[in-house]
Amino acid sequence: MLSFLVWIGLFFNQHPLYMSNTIIKYEESKKALSVRVQIFETDIQEVLQITHGIDIVSDAKNPNIQKYIDEYVWDNLKIKIDGKSRKDFTFLKKSKNYDALIFEYEIKSVPTKPKKLEVEATYLMELFAEQTNIVALIVGSTKRTFPLKEFNIKAEINP
C-alpha cells in the first residue's frame, strides 16, 4: 500500500517546487561580487523554449545557449551596489547538481566593501505563480537570506 501511495504522489506531483537559489557574496580579496545562480534544469528549459524556441538538451551544441541563459538571468537579476546598478558580469562556469543547473558569475571592480547591497530576483515568476527565489547576500560578517516571491522581489542589506 505504501509503495502505491508513493507512486501516486510522484505521478501527481512531478515538479513539487518552483524555486531557485542565488548566493551573492562580496569577495574582498578579489574586489568583486561572486554570483551563484541555481535553477532547475526543466524550468530554464521551459523558459528558453518559450523565449527562443531552443531545447537545451537536443540543441546542446548550439553556441548561443549560454548567451541566452546569461541574458535571461541578468534580465531577471538586478544588483545595485551602493545605489549603482551593475550589469557588468563575467560568466565563470556552468555545472549540474542533480536536477539543477548552476551558473557562476563575477562582477569585478568593487573596490570597497559595499555599504548597501540591493537585489531583485524575478526569474521564472512569469511562468510559475508559486515561484520562490531564495537569495542569500553575504558581505563580510553580514549574512542574510531572503525568500523572494511575486509580491516581494527585493532583498537588501546594509553591512
Tell me what pLDDT residue 63 has: 79
Q: Residue 43 pLDDT > 70, yes or no?
A: yes
Q: How would you list the strands of the sheet with 77-81, edge to edge?
A: 84-86, 77-81, 117-121, 154-157
| Chain mean pLDDT for the chain | 86
Predicted pLDDT of residue 144: 96
**Spatial separation of the C-alpha atoms in residues 41 and 55, rounded to whole Å:** 11
Burial class, 159, CB count within 10 angstroms (exposed 0-12 / middle 13-18 / buried 19+): middle
pTM of the model: 0.85
C-alpha cell at 14: 512531478
26: pLDDT strictly greater than 60:
yes
Is 4's pLDDT higher than 70? no
Residues 53-104 have pLDDT tens digits of: 887 766 667 778 888 889 999 999 999 999 999 989 999 999 999 889 999 9
What's the CA gap between 88 and 96, in Å, rounded? 24
At 94-146, the pLDDT tens digits run: 999 988 999 999 999 998 999 999 999 999 999 888 899 999 999 999 999 99
- Domain positions in the chain are 17-157
Nearest Cα to 114, choosing from 92, 138, 144? 138
pLDDT of 132 reads 93
**pLDDT attached to residue 14:** 54
pLDDT of 155 above 70: yes
pLDDT for 9: 44
| % pLDDT > 90, the chain | 61
Q: Of 12, 38, 13, 10, which Cα lies nearest the Cα of 23?
A: 38
